Amino acid sequence: MGRVNGKNIMRTPQEKEAIVLEYMSGGISTRAIAEKYGTTQGVFNKWLRKYRESNIEGLKSKTGKTGTGKGNFKRTEIEQLKEDL
């Protein structure tokens, strides 16, 4: 994620992968690639680690809303645990 006008930029797994692959092709530091794409070095390092562990699957967001229509809401941790059981 990067920030524009104080708001987070949500990147697709494909966008994250392209950024990681640009870094992996060499010639640029993690700090420089993070600055180039408006994110932090820590966030970029997280993408890099996840990509190395699980390829593009590791770059998929685990956050977001569930449900449909006007009743969209974020599931609580308890609701998620119940669903997992």
pLDDT digits (tens, 9 = 90+) for 21-73: 999 999 999 999 999 999 999 999 999 999 999 999 999 987 764 444 444 45
Kindly report the CATH number assigned to the domain that includes residue 30.
1.10.10.10
> Rounded distance, CA 8 to CA 1, Å?
6
Please report how many Cα atoms fall inside a 13 Å half-sphere around the Cα of residue 79, on the Cβ side.
Answer: 7
Q: Which domain holds residue 71?
A: 2-84
pLDDT tier at 8 (50, 70, 90 boundaries)?
confident
Stretch 1-26: mean pLDDT: 82
Domain count within the chain: 1
> Rounded distance, CA 45 to CA 16, Å?
11
Which residues, 6+ apart, have CB-to-CB distance to 39 below 8 Å?
1, 2, 9
